[in-house]
């Protein structure tokens, strides 16, 4: 299916690995001109060189000025931004009793403030041109909290609140705003969490992973490319009537209705 995205311009944050990179690859496969970015500029440039029409940018998204610089560099290279995919690394693990109050500041700086800054920067031209797609990569912990991920449980909720509020304001301008919630996707982040769980409980890594698979109806971890395909669809012409949504990509692991 042609998603109608050829020639569009996308900025994908946190895209030197994992879900951000998978999203960038899926968009590039649809003919989108993509700006890849991350803290390691050399990796961003290497990944960009493997795509048909992409640039690699260095930037630490927690730096308050980084969103402005990333947006400006993308516009300089390709023109106005049509698509923003906001992906970040995850905050450190820890339980509600272990994590001190000040740690929440760092989670806000990583997960929430950059998404607000980036959205404010790209929205004016999206609204003027009558087309825009904003997708935030969050987590299924927003719906079913994980004991060891209290920062993700709590702070990612703010991203969803912002996205839902923003979606209502810009829908009439042809701009959609959605969140995608990954479950257990086979990324380095999930591997590190599995390893931490094994270390904390004295179980083997295989035992931890097999137990996790038993909680997933599909019986396996998802592939990053499967996640990227969902992001690309939400950016498509066909998804113009989907906004303010939170879409899980989790192999059916979430058990709630909503």
Mean pLDDT of 21-43: 97
Three-class DSSP category at 138: coil
Buried b (16+ CB within 10 A) or exposed e, 181-213: bbbbbbbebbeebbeebbeeeeeeeeebbeebe
**Element (H or E) spanning 74, and its range?**
helix 66-78
Q: What is the pLDDT of residue 59?
A: 95
How far apart are the C-alpha atoms of 180 and 199, rounded to whole Å? 29
Average pLDDT, the chain: 96
Give the pLDDT confidence of 158-168 residue by residue, as tens digits: 999 999 999 99
Give the pLDDT confidence of 87-101 residue by residue, as tens digits: 998 899 999 999 999
Report the percentage of the chain scoring pLDDT > 70: 100
Q: What is the pLDDT of residue 115?
A: 98
How far apart are the C-alpha atoms of 140 and 248, rounded to whole Å? 7
């Amino acid at each position: 299916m042609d998603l109608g995205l050829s020639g569009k311009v996308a900025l994908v944050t946190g895209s030197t690995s994992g879900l951000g990179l998978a999203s960038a690859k899926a968009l590039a496969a649809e003919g989108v001109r993509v700006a890849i970015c991350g803290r390691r500029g050399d990796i961003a440039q290497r990944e960009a060189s493997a795509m048909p029409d992409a640039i690699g940018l260095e930037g630490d998204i927690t730096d308050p000025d980084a969103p402005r610089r990333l947006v400006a560099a993308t516009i300089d290279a390709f023109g106005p931004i049509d698509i923003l995919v906001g992906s970040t690394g995850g905050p450190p693990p820890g339980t509600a009793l272990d994590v001190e109050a000040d740690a929440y500041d760092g989670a806000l700086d990583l997960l929430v403030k950059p998404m607000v800054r980036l959205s404010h920067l790209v929205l004016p031209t999206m609204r003027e041109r009558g087309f825009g797609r904003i997708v935030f990569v969050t987590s299924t912990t927003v719906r079913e909290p994980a004991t060891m991920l209290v920062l993700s449980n709590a702070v990612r909720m703010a991203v969803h609140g912002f996205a839902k509020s923003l979606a209502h304001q810009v829908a009439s301008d042809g701009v959609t705003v959605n969140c995608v919630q990954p479950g257990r996707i086979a990324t380095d982040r999930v591997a590190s969490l599995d390893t931490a769980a094994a270390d904390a409980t004295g179980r083997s890594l295989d035992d931890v992973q097999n137990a996790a698979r038993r909680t997933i109806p599909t019986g396996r971890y998802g592939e990053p490319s499967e996640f990227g395909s969902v992001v690309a669809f939400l950016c498509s012409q066909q998804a113009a009537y989907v906004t303010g949504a939170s879409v899980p990509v989790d192999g059916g692991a979430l058990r709630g209705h909503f």
